[in-house]
Amino acid sequence: MGTLTMRNPATGEVLGTLPEATPEEAQQAMERARQAFSLWGSTPVAARIHYLRNLRHYLVENGEALAQKISEATGKVALEAYMTEIFITADTIRFYEKHAERMLAPRKVSTPLALAPKTSSIYYKPMGVIAVISPWNYPFQLSVVPVLSALAAGNTVILKPSEVTPSVGLIIEEMFRAVPAPAEIVQVLHGGREAGQALVAARPDKIFFTGSVASGKKIMAQAAEHLIPVELELGGKDPMIVLEDAHLERAAAGAVWGAFTNSGQVCMSVERVYVQERVYPEFLRLVKEKTAALRQSPSGIGEIGSMTSPDQIRIVREHVEEALSRGAVAETGGTFSDEGMFLAPTILTKVTHDMKIMREETFGPVLPIMTFSAEEEAIRLANDSPYGLNASVWSQDKAKARRVALQLASGNVCINDVIVSYANPALPFGGVKESGIGRYRGPEGLQAFTHPVSVIHDPGKRKREINWYPYTEEQQSLFIGLTHTLYGKSGFWPPIKRGERPPLLKAALREWRRLFR
């Protein structure tokens, strides 16, 4: 059994160690989760939401202390930890308190005339045990929100937090223990890749994974052996299109925050900027000015904290140095030290679309900027990517901004803002192409943790249905007539040819009346 070291990346301080779960422990956790599901799955939605409400109260009462612990585990600024980890989680719970019962309630749907007098309904049943495998960049919120969604839908959950930020896994475990609930509805399985593989091998009823494209593909391949459904929230290379009529002061501020928040370690970071040529000089001037004003400190006083993962620094360095070697210019930053976890915010110009910095997910505080001449060119460049998670369009012309936004190959689009689409819990969140499969948040996201069961109900008073045996000529005429009447151009029963023998129309109508008595 391995051991995880808990460390503050900003200071290098060791916070402790944590044993990794074994495959046997993963299997035991699954057995406990299945036993717990037998009770929790039949618990009324109102009772489940009451539990979530108690979790919200815990978050609010302990939010500042939790944010400080998250800051120490990740190196991010404490205010960012509070805004993006605590506040968003509490807001999501409030959304479920208001709307979960309605979103999970059975609903009637229309029934075709030919099936009258039947009625049709959809019921949302919990799936069972959900495995949540979460990342290190927002280790609290990106763990807890899918866990809460699964719980609200009636499932039990086994969470495998990231081994990069193991102390946050302990914080989450402590929270779920502190708020009274039926035993084992949430269990936390600590560990790295082996623990994740063991969790998938234990055959949960669904896997919800947030992380890299490479890891997502491996999990999907392993899950396919047992046809376990998966939802994948993966990487991004999010484009920002600044049109010449944009509010440049706002656009520049949005670009700086969108690129450098959480040291750029956001799947929805602004990782590519396309600026219309006429406004490029002023936009660049504003971006450089705002970047120069940022403060970076290990004490948490300032705007930018440290990187969280040493492995990610290597990727950022590789992307930046490759771009510089091929002609890109570092307007700010661009240099690296062999020590420490802090990277200076970097602005790159004269980049081209064949550089890694414009094609692969960098996941660090780097802002590459290109120019474009026409709207069509910006759309083409933005869509020239294997990713499609988020994008932003900047223009004061509402119709033009929406026209451009709807031509982007992206699961989420912001107009005159960045990243914020995730902050609205009423909106479904997810990507296209290699940015993922499925949606969570919003009604679609909550229902994604259920099996939709369709139920069609006949009063059961007739002897038979019009499509049952025995087949007759009258039935054939009836169905041909119905097809023409309901779906044909004329909307009328097809004409009877002169001399037809025997005419079936009256017989068919008699058959209809007889069957529906």
> Which CATH number characterizes residue 171's domain?
3.40.605.10
Q: Are residues 160 and 262 in the same domain?
A: no
Q: Are residues 223 and 276 in the same domain?
A: no
Q: Are residues 43 and 172 in the same domain?
A: yes
Looking at the structure of the chain, the number of domains it has is 3
Q: What is the mean pLDDT of residues 393-421?
A: 98
Is 327 inside any structural domain?
Answer: yes
Q: Are residues 229 and 102 in the same domain?
A: yes
**pLDDT tens digits along 313-350:** 999 999 999 999 999 999 999 999 888 999 999 999 99
Give, in order, the Cα–Cα distances in Å from 383 to each of 22, 274, 378, 390, 469: 43, 12, 9, 11, 55
Q: What CA–CA distance (Å, rounded) separates 483 from 146? A: 46
- Average pLDDT of every residue of the chain: 94
CATH number (domain holding residue 367): 3.40.309.10
Is 5 inside any structural domain?
Answer: no
Q: Are residues 490 and 449 in the same domain?
A: no
**Residue 94: what residue type?**
R
Is 13 inside any structural domain?
Answer: no
Beta carbons of 480 and 453 less than 8 angstroms apart: no
Domain that holds residue 289: 238-424
Give, in order, the Cα–Cα distances in Å from 189 to each of 119, 293, 312: 45, 42, 24
Is 429 inside any structural domain?
Answer: no
Res 197: pLDDT: 97
Catalytic residues: 233, 267
Q: What is the mean pLDDT of residues 437-458?
A: 97
Q: Measured between alpha carbons, how far apart are the two ends of the chain, in Å?
A: 72
Q: What is the mean pLDDT of residues 126-138?
A: 98
Q: What is the mean pLDDT of residues 372-383?
A: 98
Composition of the chain by helix, strand, coil, percent to 5: 45, 20, 35
Q: Are residues 164 and 203 in the same domain?
A: yes
Nearest to 4 by CA among 127, 142, 188: 188
Domain boundary among 433, 454, 475: 454
3-state SS of 388-446 is CCEEEEECCCHHHHHHHHCCCCCCEEEECCCCHHHHCCCCCECCCHHHEECCECHHHHH
Q: Are residues 110 and 221 in the same domain?
A: yes
Q: What is the mean pLDDT of residues 296-316?
A: 90
pLDDT at 261 exceeding the cut of 60: yes
Res 157: pLDDT: 98
Give, in order, the Cα–Cα distances in Å from 46 to each of 27, 99, 101, 102, 392: 31, 11, 7, 10, 38
Is 101 inside any structural domain?
Answer: yes
Beta carbons of 159 and 186 less than 8 angstroms apart: yes
Which token pair is 347? 């602005």
Q: Are residues 134 and 164 in the same domain?
A: yes
Is 435 inside any structural domain?
Answer: no
Q: Are residues 229 and 375 in the same domain?
A: no
Which token pair is 103? 């979103």
In sequence order, which residues have a C-beta less than 8 Å from that of residue 99 and are 6 or more positions away? 426, 443
Q: What CA–CA distance (Å, rounded) separates 515 from 509? A: 10
Give, in order, the Cα–Cα distances in Å from 154 to each of 26, 126, 140, 206: 21, 5, 21, 13
**Residue 497: what residue type?**
K
Beta carbons of 158 and 131 less than 8 angstroms apart: yes
Is 140 inside any structural domain?
Answer: yes
Beta carbons of 267 and 236 less than 8 angstroms apart: yes
Q: What CA–CA distance (Å, rounded) separates 53 from 50? A: 5
Give, in order, the Cα–Cα distances in Å from 390 to each of 411, 414, 436, 516: 6, 8, 12, 54
Q: Are residues 412 and 346 in the same domain?
A: yes
Is 56 inside any structural domain?
Answer: yes
Domain boundary among 410, 432, 454: 454
